Amino acid sequence: MSVQERKQRERAERERLIVATARELAEQQGWDAVTTRRLSERIEYSQPVLYSHFRGKREIIGAVALQGAAEMAVALRAATAAAGGPRARVTALAHAYLDFAERNPAVYDALFQLDGGLAYAQEDTPEPLKDAFAALLECLGEVAGEGVHPALFTEVFWASLHGIATLTRAGRLLPKDAAQRVELLADRLAVL
């Protein structure tokens, strides 16, 4: 291995460490606790080293969001692949989405609540974000109904899931009714 290859590998490892540490700190204490000073202390690198990877917290949030989008896409596809029939797939997708949001609140915030400097719904949208939307579209496109654009239907269904996730987390919706909300979404929105 050349010196250049070794340096690139070490740089990639440091970047993964920064993102993992930021994510862990945000999940434990919230995004307000994620500062470059605290990150540099936890990873045992100076702040200038951290800034050589990311210009600031915004870019770190973006990196966590991209990682989270890739994980969400995998979770959604796994859930829908195991389900038989359109209704079961839609229900599995909704449960997987809401479970992801509940299990990963800081990642979910990085994806949908915080400014990570990422373009959404644009030509230059990063691939992990496009793929997460594609994971939704693959399932929901088949139940959009005649004359309904699949991507628009997916956006409306996704917005409903996001609302449920956000309102439940904020204590505005009772968690005990989560399954009924998913059933209502599947029955009323999707053409099954």
Each residue of 25-64: pLDDT tens digit?
999 999 999 999 999 999 999 999 999 999 999 999 999 9
User: Which residue type sits at 75?
Assistant: A
d(CA 75, CA 52): 32
Residue 137: the pLDDT is: 97
Q: What pTM value is reported for the model?
A: 0.93
In sequence order, which ranges of 82-146 are alpha helices (DSSP H)?
A: 86-103, 105-112, 127-140
pLDDT band at 109 (very low <50, low <70, confident <90, very high): very high
pLDDT at residue 1 above 80? no
CB < 8 Å & 24+ apart, contacts of 43-48: 43/14, 43/17, 43/18, 45/14
pLDDT surpassing 80 at residue 135: yes
Q: How far is CA 135 from CA 10, 77, 81, in A?
A: 32, 6, 11
**Confidence band (pLDDT; 50, 70, 90) for 192?**
low
Distance CA 163, CA 4 (A): 47
Q: How confident is the model at residue 189 (pLDDT cuts 50, 70, 90)?
A: confident
Q: Copy the structure tokens of residue 95.
A: 């449960």
Residue 192 to residue 187: CA distance in whole angstroms: 8
Two tokens at 61?
């949030």
